[in-house]
A and B are shown apart, each in its own frame.
Chain A
Amino acid sequence: MTQEINYTRYERARIVGARALQISRGAPPLIDVDTIDPVDVASEELDRGVLPITVRRGPS
Chain B
Amino acid sequence: MSLEEHLDDSELPERLREKVRATAEERSLSDEEAVEVADAVYERYEQTRIDPLEPVGTVSAQSIGEPGTQMTMNTFHYAGVAEIDVTQGLPRLIELVDARKEPDTPMMTVYLEDEYAGDRDKAREVVWELEATDVLSIGDLSIDVADMQVAVDLDEEALEERQLSREEVAESIEEELDVSVDEESMSFGPDSPSYRELLQLVEELREVVFKGIDGVERVVIRKEEVEDGDEEYVLYTEGSKFKKALKVEGVDSTRTKTNNLHEMQKALGIEAARNTVVEEIVSTLGEQGLEVDIRHVMLVADAMTTTGDLQSIGRHGISGSKGSVLSRAAFEVTVNHLLDAAVHGEDDDLNGVTENVIVGQPIKIGTGDVELKVGRPGGD
Contact = CB atoms under 8 A, between A and B. Distances in A.
Interface string A6-25: 00111101110110000000
B360 interface: no
Interface in A1-49: 1-5, 8-11, 13-15, 17-18, 49
Given A8-B52, A10-B51, A17 B367 contact: yes
B51 A3 contact: no
Contact of A56 (B52, B367, B371, B376): B371
Given A2-B379, A8-B52, A8-B53, A14 B374 contact: no
Interface in B335-380: 366-367, 369-379
A52 B375 contact: yes
A18 B372 contact: yes
A47 to B, nearest CB: 12
- Identify whether the interface residues of A are mostly helix, strand, loop, or mixed: mixed
Contact of A55 (B51, B54, B366, B373): B373
A53 B372 contact: yes
A23 B367 CA distance: 20
A13 B54 CA distance: 13
B35 to A, nearest CB: 22
Nearest to B373: A56
Contacts of A9: 51
A1 B52 CA distance: 25
Interface string B44-79: 000000011110000000000000000000000000
Chain A residues touching B, range = 20 to 34
A10 B371 contact: no
Contacts of A13: 366-367
B377 to A, nearest CB: 4
Contacts of B370: 10-11, 14-15, 55
Contacts of A14: 367, 370, 372
User: Nearest 4 CB-CB pairs, A to B?
Assistant: A3-B378, A14-B370, A8-B51, A5-B377
Given A10-B53, A54-B374, A56-B373, 16 more contacts: A2-B379, A3-B379, A4-B378, A5-B377, A10-B367, A10-B369, A10-B370, A14-B370, A49-B377, A53-B372, A54-B372, A54-B373, A54-B376, A54-B377, A55-B370, A56-B372
Nearest to A5: B377
30 contacts: A2-B376, A2-B377, A3-B379, A4-B377, A4-B378, A8-B51, A8-B52, A10-B52, A10-B53, A10-B54, A10-B366, A10-B370, A13-B366, A13-B367, A14-B367, A15-B372, A18-B372, A52-B376, A53-B372, A53-B373, A53-B375, A54-B373, A54-B374, A54-B375, A54-B376, A54-B377, A54-B378, A55-B370, A55-B371, A56-B373
